[in-house]
Every structure is written in C-alpha cells, then in structure tokens.
Amino acid sequence: MDVDLLTGNLVRLLAIDVEQDPRLLSEWDRDSEFQRLLNSESAARYNPKQVREFLEKEIDSMHFYMIQRLEDDRKIGLIDLNGFDWVSRNAWVGIGIGERDFWGKGYGTDAMKVLLRYAFTVLNLQRVTLNVFDFNQRGYASYKKCGFREEGRLPGALVKAGKRCDLIFMGILRSDWEELQPTTNEKE
C-alpha cells in the first residue's frame, strides 16, 4: 500500500533539509509580524548557522516539516510536532507560513489537516494540542476549521507590541477528528 499521507490539496509536507532550509527560515524571521504570530517570546534574529544548530539539536525529539506548494514546489512555511507524550499520546503542534503573499489562502489549513491525518492515522496519537495568541484571528479560525476546540485561555499572559494579550489553548481529540472525516459514502 503506497499512500502519500503527507500531501494535501494545496501543499505537501517535506522533511526539513538542514543544509538548505535554515537560510529560508532565517529570512522569514525578518518579518517581525510573522515572528509575533509564531512565538510567545520576543522576536529576534538568528543567522542560518544558528538556525541549523537549533534544528540539529532538536531534530530527534521534534518532527519538523517544510510546507511546500504543490503548484510550483515553493517552500512557504513550516510545521512541527513537539513535546511528545507517548504515554498519554499527545503532542503539540506549531505552524507558520513564512511567505506573507500566501497568508489567508488556505495553505496553513491544508498543511494542518495533512499533519493531523498523519498524527492520528500513523503516529496513533490521541490528541494534538496548540497555543494561539488572541490577536491571531486568522490562525484561530483556521484551527477551528481543522477541528480544534478552544479549551481556555490565560488572560494577559503575553506582551506583544506593548500590549497584553491572552494565550489561548486549543486541542483536538482523535474522536473530534474522526467525526470530521467523510464517510465512505460521502467520498464516493
């Protein structure tokens, strides 16, 4: 059975290339809005060598994927699974579309759907968890579309551009995800 589980309708997920991709990741960080949407900590700049060292250090404990457009094979973002708890079968997901031109066009949602399919049908996870910041309404809507539910928020937990914002916690259970999958009849 040769099924490409890491390809969706708009994107495919690729294993990270520690030789080539750090340059791209370092460039995306130049857009501070991208960083503020992605990281709870302060925005900062890291050169490709630093990014590569980080990836090499974490690559055994995290699943890093580059998000590649099907249309032209361009790498436009990254998605990762981290913080695996293999007893409770939970992992955390992080995602960012680094190329601003491709924000709000469904690439992130497609990448997340691909990752969830992989998480539940290959890794046999029971739930996937994420954090999103309250000003990231586009991200929040995308996660809801993928089946995540808000499970609460820490009020005023983070400071972005001098303003306090809420840290939102979202999660999707395998049962939530299964309910969203088309039945055999619907597929036909």
Binding interface with other proteins (CB under 8 A): 40-42, 84-90, 126-127, 129, 149, 151-159, 164, 169, 171, 173
Minimum distance, C-beta of residue 122 to other proteins, in the bound complex (Å): 19
Q: Is 90 exposed, middle or buried (0-12, 13-18, 19+ CB in 10 A)?
A: middle
104 or 156, CB closer to other proteins?
A: 156
56 or 85, CB closer to other proteins?
A: 85
Minimum distance, C-beta of residue 102 to other proteins, in the bound complex (Å): 28
15 or 161, CB closer to other proteins?
A: 161
Residue 97 and residue 77 in contact, taking contact as beta carbons nearer than 8 Å: yes
Tokens standing for residue 115: 């990752």
Buried b (16+ CB within 10 A) or exposed e, 151-186: eebeeeebebeeeebbbbbbbbbbebbeeeeeeeee
Minimum distance, C-beta of residue 54 to other proteins, in the bound complex (Å): 15
- Strands 75-85 and 163-173, bridge-based pairing: unpaired
114 or 125, CB closer to other proteins?
A: 125
Minimum distance, C-beta of residue 87 to other proteins, in the bound complex (Å): 5
CB atoms under 10 Å from CB of 75, counted, come to: 20
